[in-house]
Structure 1
Amino acid sequence: MKQFFKFVLATVVGIILASLIPIFIFIGIIVAASGDKPVEVDANSILHIKIDYPVNERTPNNPLSGLSFLGIPDDNVGLNDILADIKKAKNDDNIKGIFLDESYMLSGQATTEEIRNALIDFKRSGKFIIAYSEIYTQGFYYLASVADKVYLNPNGIFEFKGFSSEVTFVKGALDKLGIEAQIIKVGTFKSAVEPLIRTNMSDANRLQVTSYLGSLYDHFLSGISSSRHINKDSLFNYANTGLIQEPEDALKYKLVDGLKYKDEILNDLKARTGISERKDLHSIELGEYAKANVNTGDKTTSQDRIAIVYASGEINGGDGDDNSIGSETISKALRQVRLDSKVKAVVFRVNSPGGSSLASDVIWREVMLTKKVKPIIVSMGDYAASGGYYISCAADSIFAEPNTITGSIGIFAILPNMQKFFNDKLGVTFDGVKTGKYADLGDISRPLTPEEKAILQKNVNHGYDTFTKHVAEGRHKTQAYVDSIGQGRVWTGSQAIKIGLVDRLGNINDAVRSAAAKAGLDNYRLVTYPEQKSIFSKFGQGLSAQMSAHFVKAELGDSYRYYEQIKGVTKMMRVPQARMPYDIVIK
């Protein structure tokens, strides 16, 4: 009887939820319709920027955003709209300045670099930027250091300690479970597999991490030195000796301009914008400002177009979305822009640590075909490594930020041997028949034979040979040279330009200007691909996945990266892979 009532209750709840879905959709349509109305910006306003979330390449197309009272998470403003808003504010007479409020910069350093450079450009208008926080992480301070004034809460926290990179090793856990990771790879530095087979970093991996971490840190210090007019060696010493312990230390060594509370900052902003202390400050958030109709002088009636094709996330076969690269989705987008006579040039925006080597090769082919008929310029984001570099190497020109992570030219394959797990832990055994010696190649219930390992090694070697040939052809180098800088080694953008993997240091706007120059265009429109699907097109699956990810991130906080790393380990149990060594986390 108890079970009966449980089933009845579950059925009733299901019916209620199903009946509410149309209501959610209706509300979403109303919200979407109202969202199309332009936002009016008050005179003497400030643009309020608070970035406390991972910044994606593009703002999602979600009409249900804003319905947080229904449990639907708000969408975060993407890099595209952040950069567009800052540029728009530069020429908006109603915007008098920018307030950089407590942000954590959870995204990669190249993303922060793009936003930082946009703020530097904004300052050329003569308008002010004020930064304030109770807690300055190193990432936010790097961004905030360009401000005219940097303020810290009198009892706040100022983090200035240098960079460290940590790898999570799971071999011990696999050993306890009786699972062996069988590794086939090419590349001395291809260390993506190390967490599965080691308990610490190899000497080669330690060498490359030391190298690129040093390059990233040097750029970090150089940027702050330039903005704050403090000697770079002094900055290094502050961090290395732990001089910055209290807010007063940050003020003493001129890393901040004052110690103030939030109300004092707001009064300062009111004074700067001519608002009485008794009245509310006129401010507008990034998301709202994107809807503001401001004449920036960029509008054109030209029919000529430059297409920006976004490829962000791990590379896999099939369809993708805003946060994953599907070979079918990106290939289709590249074919569309290639065949569109109005599109005169292409900017291929790549932000990926790699993934499937086969899927990467499929996309590489489309880049090659596009290059034959119109200019295609790659703009690298936080990562364009391994498979991310594979899909980039055929372009006419490659732009990267100094702190982009790229290279990692190598291939690996992982096949788990779970015999001991099944036999000893679960008491499960297997038996069967086969018609050929290799009919059960890839079976995880037993170890590989030497002959099977040789077959897989041959496949991986072939993949690496193909990869290095493509890079050699695209970069006009010898294959031997590519191999010498390949072997799975990771480089920063600053290092990559010196060894010929990258042509120029610059952001996505620099890539657009380069594409326009190659196509001989003075006036053009920007169009973006692939088309962003509305949440309505994938309502059930898309919404549930989005909400699940949102709540898991909220619950785990900074520890969410460990959850992602464990998920990544399971995804790597495929063959073959062209992926970065691991997700780089700098603390």
Structure 2
Amino acid sequence: MKSFFKIFFATLLALVLFTVIAFLVLAYMVGKATSPDKPEIGTNGVLVLDLSTGFKEQSQDNPLSALFSDAEDAPGLHDVVRMIEYAKTDSAVKGIYLKASGNGNGFAASEELRQALLHFRESKKFVIAYGEVMSQKAYYVATAADKVYCHPNGGVDWSGYSSSVMFLKGLLDKLEIEPQVFFAGKFKSATEPFRVTQMTDANRLQTTVLLNDLYSRLLLNTATARHTDTAALHALANNGTIQSASDALKYNLVDGLKYDDQVKAEIFRLLHIKETEHPNFILPGKYVKSIDTSDEKDKIALIYAQGDIVDGKGQEDEIGSDQYKNIIRKARFDKSVKAIVFRVNSPGGSALASDVIWREISLARKEKPVIVSMGDLAASGGYYISCNGDSVFADPGTLTGSIGVFSIIPNMQSFFKNKLGITFDRVKTAPYAGITDASKPLTEIEKHFLQADVDSIYYTFKSRVAEGRKKSIDYIDSIAQGRVWTGERAIEVGLVDRIGTMQDAIASAAHMAKLKNYSTAEYPEKKSLLEQLLGGSVSQTIRVNMAKEEIGATDYQMLQQVKKVKTWFGIPQTRMAFDLNVE
């Protein structure tokens, strides 16, 4: 009887799940069939851009968007930039309302958004930025607006940049866990949290230079936008002058202190409508769909590579070597694709997976132009897969380089024995079998093997870069050593060709392919609703959102970092350190 009920309820659950999935698919198909391909935008519209939304490189379809009016597809960064450019000449759009309390985008993405807003202002249409309490990164983008306002009891963070690193060596010592770290490159700081208790001199030097580069750009562009000088702005931060909204107004960081309704009233006035009328605020996801796209025979393939580089197929937000090998190969063999723009936003990952993708880029380049466009990160493995493009573009705030390798194999023998009372024994058919077993310490010869493996991969990495950048290996070694560079400095040392946005990279690809009229094809190709449901991406999104809601975005990110570290064990990594946290 017990077995019967188990089978009965399992069957019932499967039936319910099937019914729900079938309903969602049917509703989606009906919604798509009954909704217009191009949404009506109306007239007298105002684009609303919320910087707290972190725009991914590629747009993300919301499977519920066809069912619920408030469920919006998430446009990608390039879509948003293209949307702002299109709005310049769209008579239906009168201005942009920029919500600037926080900024979920990186430095390079923020730069592309800011440049797009400055170009939009050339149309003489208005851009108004408002935030209750503006972070420095949000304020940087907001300085592209005609007017910048903050809440009377809010303010602007103007305290300078700082970056901190959490070190785990003391904890590991107490737990009697030995990391057993092997690395090549004196600046390769990814393993520092496990082997030292504070920044090494090399890491402190590179982090100081990175912060100063990013901070100098904040000061310079803010000084231009607010009609002041960098020395005055620097003094405001050094002296802790900006402590309130009134201080921000007094020292000309903002144009006024307003409540939300007062900002809206100004927008109504600019639109020449009454406050009682319903304003036409347009969200990015809707506006992007209204833009006409060309359907030319000749195409430029836009391949988005965002996330960690991993072996095999990979998951969402990962660059799986198998998947991207096939994508690049498909673009190479497609006769209608005349050029490739490879957009990279990655801190790196598996050294082997990076080499697999590097190989495909090399083969594609023999057939057609390959232009690399770097986003927030194109570091270590991210640079590995970028280094051999025909031309390499970066934003000023891109973090790139980090040419180095490391490997970690923990020795947890004492932890298991002394803390948990667990011991292990083993039988081997050869002396070096089970070399990556974490329940025992490595012998000296095993350590030699692992360090030799890291050194060999490092030499191959430098050779790839030297070939792609047409430099000697000795020169590459002098600028490598795991050191991270901003996009601006990467040009000086020869790792990057030009400062420019993704749109600049597309224009370069069209020029190299001698194309006047073309359309773009995006990869990876979008998944259908059924693929999203069966592939688990919908349930994964729900689980992630629930976890963030429960423990907070910061703690969730830390948890993901811990999970990520576990995947490093025993696999040589061409990876930048933990995400550079700049506040």
Hey, what does 2:51 align to over in structure 1?
51
In 2, the alpha carbon distance for the partners of 1:99 and 1:41 equals 16
Hey, what does 2:467 align to over in structure 1?
473
- Structure 2 residue 15 is matched with structure 1 residue 21: no
Identity of aligned residues (%): 47
Q: Contact 1:322–1:532 at 8 Å: present in 2 too?
A: no
Query: Which of 88, 91, 95 is matched with 2:89 structurally?
Result: 91
Hey, what does 2:487 align to over in structure 1?
493
1:73/1:442 CA distance change after superposition, 3 Å: farther
Deviation of 1:339 after TM superposition, in Å, equals 1.0
Deviation of 1:558 after TM superposition, in Å, equals 3.3
Deviation of 1:23 after TM superposition, in Å, equals 2.2
Residue identity in the other structure for 1:93: S
- Structure 2 residue 534 is matched with structure 1 residue 536: no
Query: Which of 256, 268, 271 is matched with 2:269 structurally?
Result: 271
Corresponding residue SS for 1:496: helix
Deviation of 1:175 after TM superposition, in Å, equals 2.9
**Structure 1, residues 251-290: CA drift from partner, whole Å, max 9, x if none?**
1111100111111111111111111222121211111112
Deviation of 1:4 after TM superposition, in Å, equals 12
Deviation of 1:536 after TM superposition, in Å, equals 2.1
In 2, the alpha carbon distance for the partners of 1:35 and 1:352 equals 36
Corresponding residue SS for 1:336: helix
Hey, what does 2:506 align to over in structure 1?
512
In 1, the alpha carbon distance for the partners of 2:412 and 2:66 equals 46
Deviation of 1:96 after TM superposition, in Å, equals 0.5
1:543/1:341 CA distance change after superposition, 3 Å: same
Tell which deviates more after alignment, 444-453 or 33-42.
33-42
Q: Contact 1:371–1:396 at 8 Å: present in 2 too?
A: yes
Hey, what does 1:139 align to over in structure 2?
137
1:248/1:396 CA distance change after superposition, 3 Å: same
1:34/1:358 CA distance change after superposition, 3 Å: farther
Hey, what does 1:105 align to over in structure 2?
103
- Structure 2 residue 308 is matched with structure 1 residue 310: no
Deviation of 1:311 after TM superposition, in Å, equals 0.6
Hey, what does 1:452 align to over in structure 2?
446
Hey, what does 2:260 align to over in structure 1?
262
In 1, the alpha carbon distance for the partners of 2:188 and 2:94 equals 50
Corresponding residue SS for 2:149: strand
1:477/1:29 CA distance change after superposition, 3 Å: same
- Structure 2 residue 561 is matched with structure 1 residue 569: no
1:466/1:36 CA distance change after superposition, 3 Å: farther
Hey, what does 2:547 align to over in structure 1?
552
In 2, the alpha carbon distance for the partners of 1:437 and 1:373 equals 47
1:384/1:96 CA distance change after superposition, 3 Å: same
Corresponding residue SS for 1:417: coil
Deviation of 1:174 after TM superposition, in Å, equals 2.5
Residue identity in the other structure for 1:523: N
Residue identity in the other structure for 2:52: D
1:449/1:484 CA distance change after superposition, 3 Å: same
**Structure 1, residues 425-450: CA drift from partner, whole Å, max 9, x if none?**
22222212211111121111101100
Hey, what does 1:210 align to over in structure 2?
208
Corresponding residue SS for 1:372: helix
Deviation of 1:563 after TM superposition, in Å, equals 2.1
**Structure 1, residues 336-384: CA drift from partner, whole Å, max 9, x if none?**
1111122111111000000000000000001111111111110000000
Query: Which of 70, 75, 78 is matched with 2:76 structurally?
Result: 78
Deviation of 1:551 after TM superposition, in Å, equals 1.6
In 2, the alpha carbon distance for the partners of 1:358 and 1:268 equals 56
In 1, the alpha carbon distance for the partners of 2:504 and 2:11 equals 57
1:34/1:98 CA distance change after superposition, 3 Å: farther
Deviation of 1:104 after TM superposition, in Å, equals 1.7
Q: How does 1:335-484 map to 2 (within 5 A)?
A: 335-484=329-478
Tell which deviates more after alignment, 5-14 or 479-488.
5-14
Deviation of 1:133 after TM superposition, in Å, equals 1.2
In 1, the alpha carbon distance for the partners of 2:8 and 2:173 equals 45
In 1, the alpha carbon distance for the partners of 2:300 and 2:448 equals 47
1:444/1:35 CA distance change after superposition, 3 Å: farther
**Structure 1, residues 32-54: CA drift from partner, whole Å, max 9, x if none?**
44555321122211111113232
1:341/1:12 CA distance change after superposition, 3 Å: closer
Corresponding residue SS for 2:94: strand
**Structure 1, residues 58-80: CA drift from partner, whole Å, max 9, x if none?**
111343247689xx986533213
Corresponding residue SS for 1:291: helix
Q: CA RMSD in A?
A: 2.3
Hey, what does 1:503 align to over in structure 2?
497
In 2, the alpha carbon distance for the partners of 1:323 and 1:487 equals 28
In 2, the alpha carbon distance for the partners of 1:397 and 1:485 equals 19
Tell which deviates more after alignment, 560-569 or 470-479.
560-569
Q: Contact 2:168–2:197 at 8 Å: present in 1 too?
A: yes
Corresponding residue SS for 2:180: strand
Residue identity in the other structure for 1:341: K
Q: Contact 2:100–2:139 at 8 Å: present in 1 too?
A: no
Corresponding residue SS for 1:526: strand
Hey, what does 1:61 align to over in structure 2?
61
In 2, the alpha carbon distance for the partners of 1:132 and 1:362 equals 46
1:33/1:572 CA distance change after superposition, 3 Å: farther
Q: Contact 1:303–1:525 at 8 Å: present in 2 too?
A: yes
**Structure 1, residues 535-575: CA drift from partner, whole Å, max 9, x if none?**
42142522221111112223313333322322222222232
- Structure 2 residue 555 is matched with structure 1 residue 583: no
Tell which deviates more after alignment, 183-192 or 219-228.
219-228
Tell which deviates more after alignment, 51-60 or 535-544.
535-544
User: How many equivalent residue pairs?
Assistant: 581
In 2, the alpha carbon distance for the partners of 1:498 and 1:102 equals 33
1:277/1:314 CA distance change after superposition, 3 Å: same
Tell which deviates more after alignment, 99-108 or 413-422.
99-108
Query: What stretches of structure 2 of length at least 5 have no aligned partner?
Result: none
**Structure 1, residues 494-520: CA drift from partner, whole Å, max 9, x if none?**
111100000100000111111111111
Hey, what does 2:518 align to over in structure 1?
524
Q: Contact 1:96–1:128 at 8 Å: present in 2 too?
A: yes
Tell which deviates more after alignment, 556-565 or 302-311.
556-565
Q: Contact 1:134–1:156 at 8 Å: present in 2 too?
A: yes
Deviation of 1:224 after TM superposition, in Å, equals 1.2
Residue identity in the other structure for 1:95: V
Hey, what does 2:190 align to over in structure 1?
192
Corresponding residue SS for 1:55: coil
Residue identity in the other structure for 1:583: D
Deviation of 1:176 after TM superposition, in Å, equals 3.4
Tell me the TM-score normalised to structure 2 length.
0.95
Q: Contact 2:62–2:71 at 8 Å: present in 1 too?
A: no
Deviation of 1:306 after TM superposition, in Å, equals 1.2
1:454/1:114 CA distance change after superposition, 3 Å: same
Deviation of 1:180 after TM superposition, in Å, equals 1.6
Deviation of 1:198 after TM superposition, in Å, equals 2.0
Q: Contact 1:29–1:63 at 8 Å: present in 2 too?
A: no
Deviation of 1:103 after TM superposition, in Å, equals 4.4
In 1, the alpha carbon distance for the partners of 2:194 and 2:156 equals 36
1:511/1:25 CA distance change after superposition, 3 Å: same
Q: Contact 1:129–1:147 at 8 Å: present in 2 too?
A: yes
